[in-house]
Amino acid sequence: MILHLVLFLISSYLAGNSQAQLQVGFYAASCPDVEALVGGAVREAAATDVNIGPALLRLHFHDCIVEGCEGSILIDNGVETDEKHAFGHQGVRGFDVIERAKSQLEAVCPQIVSCADILALAARDAVVLANGPSYEVELGRRDGVVSNVMSAGSMPAVTDSIQNLKAKFLQKGLTDKDLVLLTAAHSIGTTACFFMNQRLYTFPANGGSDPSIIPEFLPELKSTCPLNGDVNVRLPIDRGSAQVFDIQILQNIRSGFSVLQSDAALYQDEATRSVVDSYFGALIGPSFEADFVNSMVRMGRIGVLTGLQGTIRTTCSAFN
């Protein structure tokens, strides 16, 4: 019993100490241009690809929510066992932007900046490009040395019930409020009809369409994603505001205009519905943007490696 307590206290200390070593300005002396170089790479990519911002934001989330924010999703050994090939990571992209930023950083700050930190910075810059809030990013993560497709088997999915979504976020130390706010990242970007077919045509509860879709919205979705149509056709996740980071995504959830089933699920649970509603109606209520930033920072601390843990890769797609 005493041994178990000692081990628990040691592990708790290490976990807390690991997070404490993340800090704003971590590279101020060792690589002062890190944020400018990453931001430049993101802006350059966005000049020719309007959807690269949402892709980079999603890439950071998909990295953190599996083994933690340690860059394991970036590894590409050319084998199907790499984490990036997990079913839950389908459609994830932006790897080339991270690699380009890493190459530029290696030229001026060799083996200083981790790929995991580049991901965190690129996600912030993606939000800013979409007129979302700017915020300071805690840095000091190191890169992981394992990448396994099996580790991504419990990724949150668009078909998950609200109970499953809450459980998966709680497992990572995230709250119901974090679930709502991180889902609000769907304010920008698109999804594929592949992720819509069950909701539109074979919804488990009735074998037809998801009844939470309001009647006037259903024909619009079905016209974009017809039965037996091209599953690669893409549609905005945030109806009416796909290119701008704003609170419209939560208004759509309240009004029955959610594109994704997992977004709609937020309004089917008392706790998450209360969080959504808290941003509307009150003259002086919580700040959506400030709360989103707080949740992004919290997510960015999941499972981080710091100090002598992990490594600093020279190429993000390969172990040293």
- Whole-angstrom Cα distance, residue 259 to residue 257? 6
Neighbour-count burial of 17, counting CB atoms closer than 10 A to its CB (0-12 exposed, 13-18 middle, 19+ buried): exposed
Catalytic residue (one of 4, 60, 62, 89): 62
Helix (H), strand (E) at residue 190: strand 190-192
Q: Where are the alpha helices (DSSP H) in the chain?
A: 2-20, 34-46, 52-64, 95-108, 115-129, 162-171, 176-183, 197-201, 218-224, 248-255, 261-265, 270-277, 288-299
- Whole-angstrom Cα distance, residue 216 to residue 202? 19
* Cβ neighbour number for residue 256 with a 10 Å cutoff: 15
CA distances from 230 to 4, 9, 204, 213, 247 (A): 55, 54, 22, 21, 30
- Active-site residue flag, 89: no
**Sequence-ordered list of residues with C-beta below 8 angstroms from that of 232, at least 6 positions apart, any chain:** 192, 193, 194
| Residue linked to tokens 């979302």 | 132
| Residue linked to tokens 């340690």 | 70
Helix (H), strand (E) at residue 192: strand 190-192
- The pair of structure tokens assigned to 183 is 């889902």
The catalytic residues are 62
